[in-house]
A and B are shown apart, each in its own frame.
Chain A
Amino acid sequence: MATTTTLAKADEGTATVTHAARIEHVSKSFAGPAGQQLVLDDITLDVAPGEFVTLLGASGCGKSTLLNLVAGLDEPSAGAITTDGRPALMFQEHALFPWLTAGKNIELALKLRGVPKSERRDRAEELLELVRLKGAHGKRVHELSGGMRQRVAMARALAQESNLLLMDEPFAALDAITRDVLHDELTRIWRETRLSVLFVTHNVREAVRLAERVVLLSSRPGRVAREWTVGIPHPRRIEDTEVAELSVEITEELRGEIRRHGQH
């Protein structure tokens, strides 16, 4: 079963490593029109095995850049990042391959991981069932709705059997109702599979609704400004008063960060 293997791997992981991702004093600068521009400044952050962390920040805080570094798509200018195996990554765009059916997209991920051909079909069906898309194996990507596409993308990411799932604003392009449903889905899957999740967003409520820990990044350059541990029990709703109260507090802090930039 999908979850059994993931659980087994996670348990092995805890025996040897104490973190799913360790970001140590990471800085990143890019060559800009005004010389080297510092995007991330001395970020230190750990994601514990099975932990759900959201990275929150206004535009220009380098949160996507940080996620790319953790994913190994780019190299930090300074500092070190260690992860427990290659992390899975989900984008704001579903990034499903339109030349393959929904099921074959998942099977490609399995194939690239070295899963034998005879097992791929069954594993893909299991993963589709996990995101409640049973029977969608033969569907073309363009035949699916936005929410369904993101769920297939989630199944494809889960097919990597990574201990760490990186999510780069994966629900930002969806309508509010679909997004809310996918929040519930993600929470359910996270709790069933005990994955570690590092979730990037600029939506405060989304951050609070999903995470165990919210990390606020300041902008230009991105620095860890503050952290909150979210103790609200699951299942959470976006309209819960606890969610709302913490969101107000974090939003105030975020506004303060943004306001600083207008002052000079």
Chain B
Amino acid sequence: MASTDTTPPAKDAGDLAGLEAGLDALETQHKSRTPFHRTLTQKVLPPVVAVLLVLAVWQALVSFEIVDDPTKLPAPSDVWDVVHQAWLQGELLGYIWTSVSRGLSGFLLALLIGTPLGLLVARVKFVRAAIGPILSGLQSLPSVAWVPPAVIWLGLNNSMMYAVILLGAVPSIANGLVSGVDQVSPIFLRAGRTLGATGLKGTWHIVLPAALPGYVAGLKQGWAFSWRSLMAAEIIASFPDLGVGLGQLLENGRNASDMAMVFEAILLILIVGIAIDLLIFSPLERWVLRSRGLMVRS
């Protein structure tokens, strides 16, 4: 250090350093990783038990002939056969991929539009007053309502599917960002300003990272809305040239009065929706919250 005349006595400095090290050690919490068997019994086991229970009840309804009409309720094994057949014929992944690729690319597009839109609404008072309420209102409009106008405007094609996804997901993503920005603690803004982060620098270095938890929650909801809107569009506007996605599969099952196929489609839609959430959005959300100490490790 450059100081020459003002260094306190060595003994005193040593005392202070020791005291401080002791305090730091006492007050720092040591975390340990949750053991694997506890993750298994607390996180994995309960949902598995719940699913098995549902399957058991379903099987019982059929086996004990409580519902004695395969056109109303097929046995779990019948549904499994349909899925298995689709897999053997190499169609299963095709159905899933048609919908998932549409859903994800629609979602990415919604992300590209929703993010700047949300930022604009959050930061520009006039824009917020003008379209803020409409944006929140749009969230309560079921996106299936957009299918008929989208078909009329764009025809039966992929653009129409994307339009419906966008109308469903963009408000969620934008609103997530707006509420994220609104919840940024004023102390961060003040601290940022004293460090010289004003204007665009402030937005980039302080506001956006601080708003990330709200934004990620919006993304998660945006995905759910994308997926729902897409299924609505696929069911209503099924057209052979569009390729068979999960929504079309469901509609085909209904037209053929094939209840096993209907169940197959519903289950696949549910599983894909959950899987994308579990694989992409939940880990993203956990990472954001955990790195900020906003989530207690359980």
Contact = CB atoms under 8 A, between A and B. Distances in A.
A32 B12 CA distance: 50
A144 B28 contact: yes
Given A177-B23, A185-B20, A112 B293 contact: no
Interface in A73-111: 73, 86-89, 91, 93, 95-100, 108-109
Nearest to A109: B195
Nearest to B28: A145
Contacts of A234: 8
A192 B3 contact: yes
Interface stretch (A1-9, A41-49, A204-212, A256-264): A1-9
Given A86-B196, A142-B293, A191-B6, A97 B210 contact: yes
Contacts of B292: 98-99, 140-142
Contact of A145 (B27, B205, B206): B27
A91 B191 CA distance: 8
Contacts of B148: none
Contacts of A109: 195
Contacts of B193: 73
Contacts of A132: 17, 20-21
Interface in B39-86: none
A67 to B, nearest CB: 11
Given A95-B187, A140-B291, A184-B16, A4 B2 contact: yes
Interface string B188-228: 10110111110001000110011010000000000000000
Contact of A112 (B7, B12, B205): B205
Nearest to A148: B24
B129 interface: no
For chain B, which range describes its interface: under 10, 10 to 19, 20 to 34, or 35 or more residues? 35 or more
Nearest to A151: B20
A188 B291 CA distance: 33
Interface in A186-212: 188, 191-194
B2 A7 contact: yes
Interface in B168-192: 187-188, 190-191
A119 interface: no
B207 to A, nearest CB: 11
A95 B293 contact: no
B1 interface: yes
A3 B1 contact: yes
In this complex, the member of B6, B17, B29, B209 whose beta carbon has the largest number of chain A beta carbons within 10 angstroms is B6
B19 interface: yes
Nearest to A110: B195
B13 interface: yes
A113 B2 contact: no
Contacts of A144: 28
A194 B6 CA distance: 10
A219 interface: no
Contacts of A146: 27
A143 interface: yes
A1 B3 CA distance: 11
A92 to B, nearest CB: 9
B31 to A, nearest CB: 8
B15 to A, nearest CB: 9
B195 A112 contact: yes
Interface string A145-160: 1111000000010001
Contact of B190 (A3, A95, A98, A160): A95
Contacts of A3: 1-3
B190 A97 contact: no
A34 interface: no
Contact of B13 (A91, A142, A148, A188): A188
In this complex, the member of B20, B188, B206 whose beta carbon has the largest number of chain A beta carbons within 10 angstroms is B20
Contacts of A95: 187-188, 190-191
A191 B3 contact: yes
Nearest to A112: B196
Interface of B: 1-3, 6-9, 12-13, 16-17, 19-21, 23-24, 27-29, 187-188, 190-191, 193-197, 201, 205-206, 209-210, 212, 291-294
26 contacts: A3-B2, A86-B196, A95-B191, A97-B188, A98-B294, A108-B195, A108-B197, A132-B20, A132-B21, A141-B293, A142-B292, A142-B293, A144-B28, A145-B24, A147-B24, A156-B195, A160-B195, A160-B196, A177-B23, A181-B23, A185-B16, A185-B20, A188-B8, A194-B6, A234-B8, A235-B8
Given A86-B196, A160-B195, 16 more contacts: A3-B2, A89-B191, A89-B194, A91-B190, A95-B188, A95-B191, A97-B188, A97-B209, A112-B205, A140-B292, A143-B29, A143-B293, A160-B196, A181-B16, A194-B6, A235-B9
The 3 A-B pairs of least Cβ separation, nearest first, read A142-B293, A145-B27, A95-B191
